[in-house]
Amino acid sequence: NKPDAAAIECTFQGPTLKFHCDTTVAITGAEAPATLDGQPVAVNQALSLMAGQTLAVGSVKNGYRVYIAVAGGIDVPRVMGSRATFEVGNLGGKDGGKLHQGDFLPIGDDQASKATPDEFPVCPVIPIPTQPNACWTVGVVPGPHGAPDYFTADGLETLFAGEWRVHHNSNRLGIRLTGPRPQWARQTGGEAGLHPSNIHDSPYSIGSVSFTGDEAVVLTCDGPSLGGFVVFCVVATSEMWKLGQARPGDTIRLRAMDTEAASRLDRELRGAID
């Protein structure tokens, strides 16, 4: 498929899909059982289906989100250049929200190539920590707000050395983390606000780890692009997929890296996908 082709994202529980045409699918992401007409099938590789067959994906064992891609993509309109669903804004995808039982999903025919399933390589197994007590190491670039202006030197070191736990109140807007309490280098935010986490509004990158008060939040793909809270690090682009697979209760450790290392990992990931 082309890079902008739409797929199906499933959180914790997969769907049951009946196909009305011959096609090719691939299931990837979190570890979950999959069957075709009741018989187990392999994931992380292309799979041929015939009209009338039923594909079912069960509950996730490890990880959090399963992805189902179909040859040609799911035929939904582009909204502001994207086929993704932005549920909070009721935009994109199918009718701007979640899929429901009985929905019909049209399949597109715009493919980058028409190769047969046996010509596609098998995707490497994704290294997903096992449940229970899954622990993730996530690469981050420190900054833009650090010590000594916003945090004490020891306090900033604690944020990178400590363990964080994914809060149950997390979604595609942001991943809330509970963990080390910030040690602020100032009493207030000055003109920006009464709390030391307050700053004048500035841009947020996807993956920014900000403090809203004393609570850390990783701003993800549907999160705000502008705000008034300090950001002590930014998740490397190549590491963002891990946040999509970390479920509530999982442990996260932050591994600091420089921008050169983050760029190299991004190139390697893109090369592996291509």
Q: Which domains does the chain have, with CATH numbers?
A: 8-119 (2.60.120), 135-273 (2.40.100.10)
pLDDT in tens, the chain (274 residues): 888 899 999 999 999 999 999 999 999 999 999 999 999 999 999 999 999 999 999 999 999 999 999 999 999 999 999 999 999 999 999 999 999 999 999 999 876 666 666 677 777 777 899 999 999 999 999 999 999 999 999 999 999 999 999 999 999 999 999 999 999 999 999 999 999 999 999 999 999 999 999 999 999 999 999 999 999 999 999 999 999 999 999 999 999 999 999 999 999 998 887 7
Residues 6+ apart with CB under 8 A from 186: 149, 150, 196
Helices (H) and strands (E) in the chain, counts: 3, 19
* pTM for the model: 0.92
Amino acid letter, 13: Q
pLDDT at residue 10 in the model = 97
Residue 120 C-alpha from the chain's centroid? 25
Q: Does residue 140 contact residue 257 with C-beta atoms inside 8 Å?
A: yes
pLDDT at residue 109 in the model = 84
**How far is residue 42's CA from residue 142's CA, in Å, rounded to a whole number?**
39
**How far is residue 232's CA from residue 136's CA, in Å, rounded to a whole number?**
19
Q: Does residue 217 contact residue 177 with C-beta atoms inside 8 Å?
A: yes
pLDDT at residue 118 in the model = 67
pLDDT at residue 112 in the model = 64
Residue whose pair of structure tokens reads 């809060």 in the numeric block: 167
Q: Does residue 90 contact residue 79 with C-beta atoms inside 8 Å?
A: no
pLDDT at residue 122 in the model = 78
